[in-house]
Chains A and B, each alone.
Chain A
Amino acid sequence: MTPVVMPQVGENLTSGVVVEWLKNEGDVVARREVLAIVESEKAAFEVIASAGGTLLKILRPAGQQVDVLATIACIGEAGEIIDLDALAAEGPKSGSQTSTLDAASTATPTTSSSSVTSSSSGRPTLLTPSGRPTVGTTETVPGHTLRGRPFASPSARRLARELLVDLRGVDGSGPAGRVIRRDILAAALRACGGSPRPESVVALPEPVVGPGDRLVRHTRLRQIVASRMSSSARLIPHFYLVADIDVGEARQWLQELADDGVGLTDIIVAAVARALRKFERLNAHVGEGGIVCKADVHIGLAVAVEDGVLVPALSHVDHADLATLGNARRQITAQARRGIVQPDPASTFTVSNLGPMGVSRFLPLINPPECAILAIGVAEERVVAREGRPTIREMLTVTLACDHRAVDGAYAAEFLAHFTQILEAAREYLVDVETVDEPGK
């Protein structure tokens, strides 16, 4: 018997919601097959079968919120008896609430699959698809109720959500150790290197809905975007650098690559990844006590979806050739538009491209915990001076937003210059994916 668990898809995530089961109890499933769609605070993603077999029991139906690493279903052989003790041992933490199952205590099956009957011991029994009974209901499955519930005021819980503070890591200063508002504010301010100053965060007034006005409630995604972007704007000291880049040569090269389905975005993303190899502090996650310079380059792409934005990641961009990159990009953006984002790998740098929508330049908000984000404007023909003469070139304007806690202007400027150099001579730099620094090497 193999348990199916709610995946851990981020360091701070504590729970997810089962959105939809794609398989029913009794279905035969193959290893790596998608069993269900679950939703974390960030996005929807797939739960993959880690073993082949029969989906014996769905313990958490669609709509339920489940702690990460808790068991949501079991895969095994048809007719196999689900051993709850084994399940508990597989779970994130084993606890007191366990049930044992032995053959003697199981009742004779009298009803069809998955219906509840009463056994002689008075305990409800569940029938697996083969008709053999097992003990247990979702309430008796251990591992869901054992995780310590943080002792915090409602206000502290709300603030922790908004400021992306992990409640379990905060010491409470209220009565009996209750975590209260000031504790969350102190933790959030510590996280960005400040000292506690509670009055610095205040609630904005709620809007009034008058006659004829229409109230559009936030979707879950909207709430997540709102809270993450509020935290970004509130806690990250952004600074911006702007550069105009000649993409004439890139465009020419693109025409040769057109058969491979490569677009300008792919060249830009590849150039970013190449430039990041030399500027590890921008390919980083920013934390309380320092920054984590990530070993790999995974570029997040901001994708507009219905009433929100998702940031799926292109993995190992610095080692991918353009055709592969183009394919991967089309795949993840299409998935994102269906609301699905693979949780791994976590992006290390984000690119936001509003150029196709005609925007000339814009100031983006950093996607925490990343260190920087690059905003791409429209590629358009402009009159520029070259060697003392006006000439028409295809140009685009990029805006780099950086976290000033982690990097400074000169470092970011060097990165931007290097990126410009790569993009303007894209063919030389990017034709060989394993080229390290200089063209031709």
Chain B
Amino acid sequence: MTTRDLLYRDALNEALHEAMDLDPTVFCIGVGIAERGGSYKVTDGLLAKYGPKRVIDTPIAEASVVGTGVGAAITGMRPVVEILFVDFSLLVMDQLVNQAAKLHLMTGGQGSVPLVLRTQGGVGDGVAAQHSQSLEALFYHIPGLKLVMPSTPYDAKGLLRAAIADDGPVIFIEHKLLYMTQGPVPEEEYVVELGSADTKRTGRDCTLIAWSNMIPRSLEAAELLSAEGLEVEVIDPRTLVPFDHATVLESVRRTEHVVIVQEAVRRGGIASDIASVIQAEAFDYLDAPIEIVAGLDTPVPYSRPLEQACIPQVEDIVAGVKRAVYS
């Protein structure tokens, strides 16, 4: 398989091109995605190729945009709706939670909502509390929604193809600091199945679970720890719903030490839920308390030093692993 290095945003852009080529029911809709090509250039070039009926600019009216997407999906279209910041998705919760997530069940399986909500989250470089949140736990909490958070260009492209092909609503959260990261992507088309974790690094001493932008940071930490003789296994679940418990538990039973890293605030986060599954399923294999390295329970400050202090940094992850392995 021949590969080339692509930016995360270009890998996503390729996935959209391929999906729209393949299936005429796929269309994109959102604020500034057509003429402007999206704030992060993920929808660049789509308007010229597929025209204004399939690549639609909207006013700043998130609830209406998502409502349009949900309605179109019910009729059999495959909309890819963009909400520029995950922070703004709070405006569309009723459309997602009460309509999209429930329709399949409430129609006895007759209806479905094959919608993808593309958005991005996490801290950037000082974009303040209303543009820096990691809100994945809100969606994780809702039965009926799938939740995808890719960390590499390869995963981003393969998972977006899978999300568009999926017959239910999928929340696809990108990370604003990952758009300009680069990685190998095959020339050929491919799909990354939802619910399959990826072991980004193997190791015998500790299992580290992270996703999205915490993956590159955790890999950096693992590299530093390796120099000290500690081999950390880094697992990226890639999709938080469905969650690949088997891969995580197999690793935990081998290493017996666990660190979970999440950018989101500590309280009520997905890390806590993953920890609860691990302690229930692999209790006899735990040699230490499960260590959670997470964001502080506070709105993210605008000040750069304070912003950094709120979010797990490489040295925080290194310290977390050391606590977990009694080093």
Contacts and interface: CB of A to CB of B under 8 A. Distances in A.
Nearest to A161: B284
A70 interface: no
A195 interface: no
A174 B288 CA distance: 9
Contacts of A206: 250, 253
B291 interface: no
A153 interface: yes
Contacts of A180: 287-288, 326
Q: Name the residue in A155, A174, A202, A206 with the highest tally of chain B Cβ atoms < 10 Å from its Cβ.
A: A155
Contacts of B287: 153-156, 180-181
Contacts of A158: 284-285
A358 B48 CA distance: 82
Interface string B271-307: 0000000000001111110000000000000000000
Contacts of B288: 153, 174, 180
Interface in B248-266: 250, 253-254, 256
Contacts of B285: 154-155, 158, 203
A213 interface: no
B204 interface: yes
A123 to B, nearest CB: 37
Interface in B118-136: none
B165 to A, nearest CB: 25
A180 B287 CA distance: 6
Contacts of A157: 284
Nearest to A180: B287
Contacts of A154: 283-287
Interface string A146-168: 00000001111110000000000
A173 B326 contact: yes
Contacts of B326: 173-175, 180
A213 to B, nearest CB: 16
A206 B284 CA distance: 14
Nearest to B253: A203
Interface in A152-209: 153-158, 173-175, 180-181, 199, 202-203, 205-206
> Among B204, B253, B287, which residue has the most Cβ atoms of chain A within 10 A?
B287
Nearest to B279: A154
Contacts, number: 34
A197 to B, nearest CB: 13
Contacts of A202: 254
B286 A155 contact: yes
Interface string B199-216: 000001000000000000
A181 B253 CA distance: 12
B251 to A, nearest CB: 11
B58 to A, nearest CB: 47
A206 B249 CA distance: 10
Interface string A206-225: 10000000000000000000
A199 B205 CA distance: 10
Contacts of B254: 202-203
Interface string A271-291: 000000000000000000000
Contacts of A173: 326
Contacts of B286: 153-155
Contacts of B250: 205-206
A158 B204 CA distance: 19
A49 B315 CA distance: 65
Interface in A245-274: none
A155 B204 contact: no
A174 B326 CA distance: 7
A173 B256 CA distance: 16
A202 B284 CA distance: 14
A158 B283 CA distance: 10
A199 B253 CA distance: 14
A288 to B, nearest CB: 24
A155 B284 CA distance: 5
A153 B287 CA distance: 5
Closest 4 CB pairs of A and B: A155-B287, A158-B284, A181-B287, A153-B287
Given A154-B286, A158-B284, 5 more contacts: A153-B288, A154-B284, A155-B286, A180-B288, A203-B253
30 contacts: A153-B286, A153-B287, A153-B288, A154-B283, A154-B284, A154-B285, A154-B287, A155-B284, A155-B285, A155-B286, A155-B287, A156-B287, A157-B284, A158-B284, A158-B285, A173-B326, A174-B326, A175-B326, A180-B287, A180-B288, A180-B326, A181-B287, A199-B204, A202-B254, A203-B253, A203-B254, A203-B285, A205-B250, A206-B250, A206-B253
